Amino acid sequence: MKNDRVRFPAREALTTALDLFAGAGGFTCGARSAGLTVVQAIESNAKTVCTYSKNNPQVDLIEGDIRALDPISCLARVGLKPGEIDVILAGPPCQGFSESNRRTRTVDNPKNQLYAQVLRYAKALRPRCVIIENVAGLRTLGHGVILRTIVRECHDLGYDVEWKVLCAADHGVPQFRNRIFIVACDRPLADLLPNGTHGPNSGRANVNVRDAIDDLPVLRNGAAVDHLPYRRDERLTDYQRLMRRGTHHSGVVQGNLVTSSAELIIERYRHVGRGHNWEAIPKRLLKNYKDVTQCHTGIYHRLEWHMPSKVLGNFRKNMLIHPSQNRGLSVREAARLQSFPDWYEFVGSIGFQQQQVADAVPPLLAMSVVDHVRRLYSRSGR
């Protein structure tokens, strides 16, 4: 690729973006909050497409396998040519990179090659900036071969590149979630990724679970009424006010759906105190596990009010427990812990909604990264 260096346009401000592997729209949501106009998005999952389009009707959304699409033809749908799009945002599927994936975490997993599509689009469309998000395990898969490949090929295309693992909690998200961000820019800029705004090193406390969700409705196991009134309106935290901003339904919040768990599961929940997990459950209640000692630490973990949440993953595997109620999290509670605003509504069965939330880029983390990069461009000029 060394002979295919990009010829970049001579504009200053970053204004337009294309979102690849868009999912439910976390990257788009954060980028829009940071001032970018996302003009087009590509997503292959039909159920996730419904959620994205519901919340982003102004975006030209293409449903399809990115590998079968022509980048230039796609961009032409919105009246743009190569060199006329400022930013590519991309969060390629990450299950194959995750260190918790013990079955298919290999370089040979076809899903681990989808990053190459981001580079294909960058080569064809010549954006001024590319921002890639993925799990922190991208650093270690194949001793870092994929990360090194992405960095090298971005350099070969003419970009300056930096990468860094960011913790969502350090950027105002009420969740300990580590993600790697790779930023490739068309000009030499120092410190392409932002420092944290929250946490011990910032002088500003992390947003905790209580800050995030204690104004939401009190629910029971199996709750199935989607729209309900907020539990309280007074003494809202700054975070709760931020999440409520722009809601479509005055005094009502969507997403109050909770998985209906069997009585055995609820009995297990009763044994788990805040901050504890499956290890607090009597072994007689865990007989269905072939080897309970191999359980992940996130299984049957009860959240603590005064701390950010543990990472949200697969709902059915992680089974995070509400801090004071013997049930799993509602879709809206999980969305709050991911920093999706309350106006953002999820579509599909409860299982699909839960997974859409868990798989998303936290919007506030995306906003922090995009806003930082946009400010660098604005200051640097041409």
**Residues 274, 148: one domain?**
no
Answer whether residue 263 is part of any domain. yes
Answer whether residue 123 is part of any domain. yes
pLDDT for residue 1: 44
DSSP 64: S
Answer whether residue 245 is part of any domain. yes
Among the listed residues 357, 375, 316, 1, the one whose alpha carbon sits nearest the alpha carbon of residue 175: 357
| 3-class SS letters over 255-298 | CCCCCCCCHHHHHHHHCCCCCCCHHHCCHHHCCCCCCHHHCCCC
| pLDDT, averaged in runs of 10, over the chain (382 residues) | 54 90 98 98 96 98 97 98 98 64 50 87 98 92 88 97 97 97 96 95 94 97 96 90 84 94 96 96 89 78 97 80 96 98 96 95 98 95 62
**Residues 254, 372: one domain?**
no
**Number of other CB atoms surrounding residue 263 within 10 Å:** 8
**Residues 214, 94: one domain?**
no
Answer whether residue 251 is part of any domain. yes
Answer whether residue 128 is part of any domain. yes
Answer whether residue 6 is part of any domain. no
Answer whether residue 240 is part of any domain. yes
The token pair that represents 235 in the structure block: 């003494």
pLDDT for residue 233: 78
pLDDT for residue 94: 65
- Residue 201 dihedral angles phi and psi, to the nearest 5°: -85, 0
**Residues 238, 353: one domain?**
yes
pLDDT for residue 293: 72
**Residues 176, 215: one domain?**
no
**Residues 182, 53: one domain?**
yes
Q: Quote the number of domains for the chain.
A: 2
**Residues 179, 234: one domain?**
no
What is the DSSP pairing of strand 87-90 with strand 129-135?
Answer: parallel
Range of the domain at 163: 16-200+361-380
**Residues 194, 223: one domain?**
no
pLDDT for residue 222: 96
330 alpha-carbon distance from chain centroid = 17
**Residues 154, 56: one domain?**
yes
CATH number at residue 43: 3.40.50.150
CATH number at residue 310: 3.90.120.10
Please say whether the beta carbons of 180 and 94 come within 8 A: no
**Residues 193, 103: one domain?**
yes
Please say whether the beta carbons of 178 and 165 come within 8 A: yes
pLDDT for residue 91: 95
